[in-house]
Amino acid sequence: MAVDREQVLRSAAALLTRKATATMDEVARAAGISRATLHRHFAGRDALVRALESLGIAECEAALEEARTDEGPAAEAVRRLVRAMEPSAALLAFLYTENQLFEGEEQNEGWARIDAAFTELFRRGQESGEFRIDLTPAWLTEALYGLLASGAWAVAEGRVARNDFTHMIAELLLGGALRREEP
Amino acid sequence: MAVDREQVLRSAAALLTRKATATMDEVARAAGISRATLHRHFAGRDALVRALESLGIAECEAALEEARTDEGPAAEAVRRLVRAMEPSAALLAFLYTENQLFEGEEQNEGWARIDAAFTELFRRGQESGEFRIDLTPAWLTEALYGLLASGAWAVAEGRVARNDFTHMIAELLLGGALRREEP
DNA sequence: CCCACATGAGACAGTCTTGTCTCATTCAGG
DNA sequence: CCTGAATGAGACAAGACTGTCTCATGTGGG
């Protein structure tokens, strides 16, 4: 009887990732509930997107926690981080493009904390000598978001195998396309 | 008097990149013309997007031509390609996300040719031993689109300097974040 | 100078989406 | 079994956007 708010958000995220302009009615159907019930739980489309944003922020923070990005070699930390974020990639892909629409409005402060943590990880890698210094931490953070989104879409459309997701993203971000010289 | 169709498409691309849901009225105002005139030149929103898609395809093909991707080392070809695509990055960023909406509809065949050329470039790099083989050409192609879009947004929001655009994208795609051992 | 043509401004109906409301139904717990 | 709360279905008005139309303007070419 009682609607599972979490499950509604999950299916909404899955749908909106595929079709960002889906109507409230489509979101409701995707969640297997009526539009009226959807409105009872989320005051409107804005509230729904805000709730998805909160969910995304919470998952990112959980991933940061789980990956322990301040421990060990930065490269390994990045790999752990990508692996921890994989389940959230589709949601982040939606939020990443949705954020482009928030023209003037200030964005949720949660993102600032997450961006700071990402940036700090890349900065730490540069300081330790692991990472090159000609690519700014801000750009590496941006690229991580972009690659996660690209990866989520590529998987959704069958262009990349789901099992390769973590490897493709982490290794491209870390090592790039060029072949390494054998040591 | 006569409206410059090209200039209208340019300003539409610039606006839609920032705000993908802009109305026909906003697009018209951004181009400095009335909504009626915009409708006289593009039958509707669909036609406008199609025209933008054609423009994007034409620019990609021009960039491929200019970069001569079948000549010289693959890595250098990728650098030339990114440099040639830089002016189109914002438009591509819009089309990249817009394509996510074309659920069922078949996509323009032009993209297939462009994807094929990109993929062939990465495949050539793998064959020559320049590129690693654990990242598939399809994923590298996807990542190139994603990084171009991320770069365009990062520049638009001031998180990356416009002058660094080409370097940031090409070098991340090729070399990744890890520092190379000195030879 | 004059005319044809492109444009701007605005009106208009049609459609889609939203947000709210009502009412009947169903389900769980007492 | 009974009651209350949550849900589904549907109606409804309001608003936004679209696509089309008309009419006045003014501008460039003949």
pLDDT tens, position by position, A45-92: 999 999 999 999 999 999 999 999 999 999 999 999 999 999 999 999
Strand D contact residues in chain A (24-43), C-beta within 7 Å: 32-37, 40-41
Q: On chain C, which bases lie within 7 A of the protein's CB atoms? A: 6-11, 16-22, 26-28
In tens, the pLDDT along A118-176 reads 999 999 999 999 999 999 999 999 999 999 999 999 998 899 999 999 999 999 999 98
Closest residue to D26 measured CA to C1′: B1
Please say if the pLDDT value at position A39 is more than 90. yes
User: Nearest 5 degrees, angle CA A38-CA A41-CA A45?
Assistant: 65
* pLDDT attached to residue A183: 46
* pLDDT attached to residue B183: 46
Q: Is residue A37 packed enough to be buried (19+ CB in 10 Å), middle (13-18) or exposed (0-12)?
A: middle
Beta-carbon contacts of A1 under 8 Å, excluding residues fewer than 6 positions away, are none
Helix axes A74-85, A137-156, angle to 10 degrees: 40
- Radius of gyration (Cα) for chain A, nearest Å? 18
Q: With a cut of 50, which residues of chain B have pLDDT below it?
A: 183
* pLDDT attached to residue A126: 95
* pLDDT attached to residue B102: 66
Range(s) of chain A covered by CATH 1.10.10: 1-42
Q: CB distance A179–B129 less than 8 Å? A: yes
Contact B117, B135 (CB under 8 A): no
Tell me the shortest Cα–Cα distance from A1 to chain B, in angstroms.
33
Q: Is B176 on the interface with A (CB under 8 A)?
A: yes
User: Nearest 5 degrees, angle CA B143-CA A70-CA B170?
Assistant: 25
CATH code matching the domain that covers A57-175, chosen among 1.10.357, 3.30.70, 1.10.260, 3.20.20:
1.10.357
* pLDDT attached to residue B18: 87
Most B CBs within 10 Å, among A100, A119, A157, to test the B interface:
A100
The DSSP-derived string for B83-141 is HHHGGGHHHHHHHHHHHTT--SSPPPHHHHHHHHHHHHHHHHHHHTTSB-SSS-HHHHH
CATH code of the domain occupying A1-42: 1.10.10
B115: its two tokens: 């994807």
Which alpha helices (DSSP H) does chain A contain, by range? 5-18, 24-31, 35-41, 45-67, 74-85, 89-98, 109-127, 137-156, 165-175
* pLDDT attached to residue B36: 96
Q: Who among A142, A167, A173 is closest to B176 (CB)?
A: A173
Closest residue to D19 measured CA to C1′: B44
Distance from C-alpha of A58 to C-alpha of A110, rounded to nearest angstrom: 9
